[in-house]
A and B are shown apart, each in its own frame.
Chain A
Amino acid sequence: MASAVEVEHLWKTFQIPHEKRTTLFENLVGMMKPRQYETYTVLKDVSFEVEEGECVGIIGDNGSGKSTMLKIIANILRPTKGKVRVKGKMTPFLELGVGFQPDLTVRENIGVYATVMGLSRKDILEISDDVVKFAGLEKFEDTKLKNLSSGMQVRLAFSTAIQTEPDVLLVDEVLAVGDMEFQQKCFDVFNRYRKEGVTILFVSHDLGAVRRFCDRTLLLGGGERRAFEETGKVLDKYVYGRSECENSSDDSNIGQCGSNRWGNKKVIIIDVEFLDKFGIKCTRFSSMDPMTVRIHYHAVEDISDITFGIAIHSDDGHHLFGTNTKIKNIPLRVLPGDGRIDLKIDHIPMLSGKFLLSPAAQSSDYQITYHWIDKQYSFEVIPTSSDAGLIAMSCNWVT
C-alpha cells in the first residue's frame, strides 16, 4: 500500500529569546548587545510513514512533541530540518470552530468555517441544512453565534467540521472536550471516516481511545521516536517501560514529608515497590492487570507478633481499601535484619487515576505501631477501555 504521510528525519527547534523584543524600538535599542537565545529542540530526528487508510495514534508525555509534530504535518509550523510529505487533501482538526465570528449568524458561520475547512461554495449550499439539523439548531439559524450556549457552538463547529471529506485527517485532543454523548458522536464519526478509508493521525492522552481506534501508534519521548508499531505493544511499552526514571522522582517527594510517618521503629519499612505483570518495578499500571506490592523492611530485634498491612486511598483522600496479614490470618514473626513481604493483587480493580498507598507494621493487637508511612507511595492506573469512573468491573452485556 502507498504511504499517505511520510515524515523523514524531522527536527524542530524553537528559539526562545531571553528577553522578548516585540517592538521595533526594543530591537533598535537591543542592537547594542547580542541577542541570547534559549534553543529548545522539540523533535529530534523523527521518521515514520503512515499508510493509506491507516489510523495512527501519537502518544507521549506532555512536552514530548506530539502537537508540534501534528502542526508540522499540517504545515502550520515549518520543520527546522527534514521533510514531510502528505498525499491528498489534508484537514486538521486542531481546534473546533476556527474562524467563528460571534457577531455573525449561525448560517453565516457555517459558511465561513466550512470554507476555512476547504469546502467549495456549492458544497456549502448543499450541506448547510444538514449541519443545522445535525447540530439541532433549526430554530436558531439566524441567531448570532454569540447568543448560543457554548455547548451549541461546539455542536455547530463539530457538525460543520465533519462535512469535510479529507484524505488525511489530523486530530489533536479534540475529543477531550465535551460530554460523554459528544465524545461518543466523535467516535462514531471517526469510525465512519475509517470505513471510508481516510488516513487518520490522532494525538491523544486518552490511551483508552488510542487502543480502541489506532492500528499503529507512535510513541514520542523527549522529542524522539521511542516506538512505532502495533498499538497494544506500544501502549504496554509506554505504560510499563518507564519505571526507573519516574520512581526516583517520586521517592524524592516521599522523603520530604516526615510528619507522615510514625512508630517506635523497632521495625522500619525501608521501601515499597510496585511490580507489574512482568515483575518489573514501575508506577503505572493498566487497569485490571496484576500488580505486586513489595514491602522491604528492616527489623532491629526479634518480634514474634507482627502484622503488616496496607491501605489504599484515592488521590482525593477517600479510603478505598485496607488489608493486613492478621485479617488474612497469617501469623508472622520477624528476625533481626532485612526482609520483604509481597502482596499479590490479581487484577487492579481501579479504572484510572492516581492512588496512594500507606504501608504499616504493627503488633497484632494494633497496640504497638512499629512503623507507619501514611500515603507516601503512589501508583497510577490507566484505563484500557473507554469505560468511565474510578473502579473497574469485569462485566458483559447480555441480550
Chain B
Amino acid sequence: MYKLLTANHIHELYRYRDLILRLAWSDFKLRYKSSALGFFWSLLEPLLMLVVLYVVFSNLMRVQVEHYQLFLLLGIILWNFIDRGTSMSIWGIVGKPSLVQKVYFPRDILVISTCITALMMTALEFVVFIIFMVIFRVLPEVTVAYFPILFILEFFIILGLSMALSALNVYFRDVQFIWRLIVQVGFFGTPILYPITIFPENIRWIVMLNPMAQIITMMRDCTLYGISPEPANLAYVAVCTLVLLLLGYSIFARLEPRFAEAI
C-alpha cells in the first residue's frame, strides 16, 4: 500500500521542493500572462464584487458592522482562497495527463503546487486589503499575530479538500459540478456578507461548526477589531484541519495507484 503523510514522504516532498515551487510559479505566471492587464484582473474581480456587495448590503439590507468595507473584503478574500484553491485543484490531476502518464514523481505534488498557486493569487489580493486598511485608517493591533496561524490552517483545509477532490474527479467527473454547488451554498451559509450575530443565539453554534465560518470570524476579530481568538475555537479549527487533511490524504492514497490508467 502506498503510504502518504509519513515522515518519509514529507522528506521526499522536501526533496521535490524545486518542482513544487516551479510548477506553482509557472502556473501562476500562465494565469496572467495572456491578458493585457496581467494580474490586475485578479484584483479587479474581488474589488468589483466588494463594491456590489457593499452597496447592496450596507445600504439596502442595512447591515450594521464597524468597518463593513474591510469586514466584507476580508471575508471575500478568504472565501475566494478556498473557492479558487479547491476549484483549481479538482483539475490538478485530470488536467495534467502527461505529467501523470509519462513521468513519475509523487502525485500529491501536483495538488500541493496548485494550492500554492492559489496561495500566491490570494497573497496578491491581500496587497489590496492592506491598501484598503491604510485608506480607511484601520491599524491592526497585536492580535494580528494570529493572522498567519489562521491563514496556514486555512491553507491546510484547502489542501485536505483538494487531495480528496482531485483524486475523486479522476474517477467521477461530475465531482466538479457537485463541488461548485457546495461552494455556492457555502458562500451564503458562511458569515461572509454578514456577521454571525444575525443568527439567533441558540443556532449560532450550528453555523459555527463550519471551520471556515470559524476562521473568517476569528480572522476579522484579530485583524480588524483587536480581539484574540478563543483557544477552544482555535483548537476546534486545528482539529478540523487535521481531520480533513488526513481524510483527504487517505482518499488520495487509496485512489492514486490507478491514476495513470483511469485518467
**Interface set of A (CB-CB < 8 Å, partner B):** 14, 22-25, 27, 71, 74-78, 92, 94-95, 98-99, 101, 103-104, 108, 111-112, 115-117, 120-121
Pair B172/A104 contact, Cβ less than 8 Å: no
B101 at the interface (CB under 8 A from A): yes
Given A71-B260, A78-B257, A115-B19, answer yes or no on A104-B102 (Cβ-Cβ < 8 Å).
Answer: no
Q: Quick check: B22 and A112 within 8 Å, CB to CB?
A: yes
Identify which of A24, A76, A111 contacts B102 (C-beta below 8 A).
A76
The CA-CA distance from A104 to B257 in the complex, in Å, is 31
Rounded to whole angstroms, the CA-CA distance of A268 and B17 in the bound complex is 75
Q: Is the CB of A23 within 8 A of B172?
A: yes
> Which A residues touch B26, using CB under 8 A?
101, 104, 108, 111-112
A22 near B171 with CB under 8 A, answer yes
- Residues of chain B in range 160-193 having any CB-CB distance to chain A below 8 Å: 171-175, 178
Please list 16 pairs of residues, one from A and one from B, whose beta carbons are closer than 8 Å in the complex, sorted by A's number.
A14-B261, A22-B171, A23-B172, A24-B174, A76-B100, A95-B98, A95-B102, A99-B103, A101-B26, A101-B30, A103-B33, A104-B33, A111-B26, A112-B26, A115-B19, A116-B99
B18, CB-defined interface residue at 8 Å: yes
Give A22 to B172 CA distance when docked, in angstroms: 5
Residue of B nearest to A116 (CB): B103
Nearest chain A CB to B97 CB, angstrom units: 10
With both chains docked as a complex, state the minimum distance between the C-beta of A221 and any C-beta of chain B, in angstroms: 23
Are A99 and B174 neighbours in the complex by a CB distance under 8 Å? no
Smallest distance from the beta carbon of A313 to chain B beta carbons, Å?
40
| Given A92-B104, A98-B99, A108-B26; A76-B260 close (CB under 8 Å) | yes
Number of contacts between A and B (CB, 8 Å)?
75
**Which residues from chain B sit less than 8 Å from chain A, CB to CB?**
2, 18-19, 22-23, 26, 29-30, 33-34, 96, 98-105, 171-175, 178, 257-258, 260-261
Q: Which of B34, B98, B258 contacts A103 (CB 8 A)?
A: B34
Provide the residues of chain B in CB contact with A104, threshold 8 Å.
26, 29-30, 33
For B101, give the chain A residue with the smallest CB separation: A76
A174 to chain B, nearest CB (A): 11
Asked, given contacts A94-B103, A115-B19, whether A24 binds B98 with beta carbons under 8 Å apart, the answer is no
Which residues of chain B come closer than 8 Å to A108, judged between CB atoms?
A: 26, 29
| B102 and A94 form a contact (CB under 8 A) | yes
The answer to whether B102 touches A92 (Cβ under 8 A) is yes
Q: Is the CB of B172 within 8 A of A115?
A: no
Q: Which residues from chain B contact A112 at a C-beta distance below 8 Å?
A: 22-23, 26
* Contact among A74, A115, A121 with B104 in the assembled complex (CB-CB below 8 Å): A74
User: How far, in angstroms, from A112 to B26 measured CA to CA in the complex?
Assistant: 8
- Chain A residues lying within 8 Å of B175, measured Cβ to Cβ, are 24
A25 to B96, CA, bound (A): 24
Q: A5–B98 Cα gap in the complex (Å)?
A: 24
Q: A76-B102, A77-B260, A95-B102 are in contact. Are A23 and B30 (CB under 8 A)?
A: no
Q: Secondary structure at chain A's binding surface: helix, strand, loop or mixed?
A: loop
Task: Classify the interface of chain B: helix, strand, loop or mixed.
Answer: helix
Known: A92-B103, A95-B102, A116-B99; 4 extra A-B contacts, CB below 8 A, are A78-B258, A99-B99, A108-B26, A111-B22
B99 contacts which chain A residues (CB < 8 A)? 98-99, 116
A104, A115, A120, A121: most-surrounded residue (chain B CB, <10 A): A115
| Contact (A116, B174) CB under 8 Å given A92-B102, A108-B26 | no
Closest to A172 in B: B102
With A112-B26, A120-B18 in contact, do A98 and B103 touch (Cβ < 8 Å)?
A: yes
Shortest 8 CB-CB distances between A and B: which pairs? A23-B174, A24-B172, A95-B102, A115-B22, A78-B257, A75-B104, A94-B102, A98-B102
- Complex CA gap A99/B26 in Å reads 11
Interface centre among B96, B100, B260 (most CB of A within 10 A): B260
Give the nearest-CB partner of A92 in chain B. B103
Q: Are A76 and B29 in contact (CB under 8 A)?
A: no
A27 close to B30 (CB less than 8 A): no
Contacts of A92 in B (CB 8 A): 102-104
* A77 lies within 8 A of B261 (CB): yes
The answer to whether B104 touches A76, judged by C-beta atoms less than 8 angstroms apart, is yes
- Complex contacts, A116 vs chain B, CB 8 Å: 19, 99, 103, 105
Query: Taking each of B2, B34, B98, B102, which has the highest tally of chain A beta carbons within 10 Å of its own beta carbon?
Result: B102
Determine how close the nearest CB of chain A comes to the CB of B215; give it in whole angstroms. 28
What separation, in Å, do the CA atoms of A76 and B262 have in the docked complex? 12
Contacts of B174 in A (CB 8 A): 23-25
Which B-chain residue is minimally distant from A100 (CB atoms)? B98
Choice from A25, A99, A111 contacting B98 with Cβ under 8 Å:
A99
Residue numbers in B under 8 Å from A24 (CB-CB): 172, 174-175, 178
- A76: contacting residue among B19, B23, B34, B103, CB under 8 A: B103
- Do the beta carbons of B173 and A115 come within 8 Å of each other? no
Please, which residue of chain A has its CB at the minimum distance from the CB of B100?
A: A76
Of B103, B260, B261, most buried by chain A (CB within 10 Å of CB) is B103
Question: Whole-angstrom distance between the alpha carbons of A198 and B101 in the complex?
Answer: 24
In the complex, what residues of B have CB within 8 A of residue A111's CB? 22, 26
Among residues of A, the one whose C-beta sits closest to the C-beta of B171 is A22
Pick from B33, B102, B172: contact of A27, CB under 8 Å: B172
Contacts of A120 in B (CB 8 A): 18
Give complex CA distance A112, B96 in Å. 14
For residue A86, give the distance in angstroms from its CB to the closest CB of chain B: 11
Smallest CB separation, B146 vs chain A (Å): 34
Identify which of B18, B100, B257, B260 gathers the most chain A CB atoms within 10 Å of its CB: B18
- Closest CB in chain B relative to A5 CB, distance in Å: 15
| Complex CA–CA separation, A101 to B24 (angstroms) | 13
Chain A residues with CB under 8 Å of B22's CB are 111-112, 115, 121
Residue of A nearest to B106 (CB): A75
